[in-house]
Amino acid sequence: MENRDEQDEYGSSKAGYPVVFGISIGVAIGSGIGVALGNLAIWMGVGIAIGVAIGLARRK
């Protein structure tokens, strides 16, 4: 995250927070699957794990 201090004209960070983004996407997907299949807790956990993996992959 070398670019964390670099900001564009609107004040948002160019580097962003890919892990947080990945977790939010993973939780959303996991929650949707969990509601559809009736087991929310397990699928939210799976979603968080997938989200962390997505975030770490985007970070590199």
Confidence check: pLDDT of 4 > 60: no
- With a CB cutoff of 8 Å and minimum separation 6, the contacts of 41 are 34
State the Cα–Cα distance between residues 4 and 43, nearest whole angstrom. Answer: 32
Digit-coded pLDDT (tens) for 8-38? 555 555 555 777 888 888 888 888 888 898 8
Q: Give pTM, 2 decimals.
A: 0.61
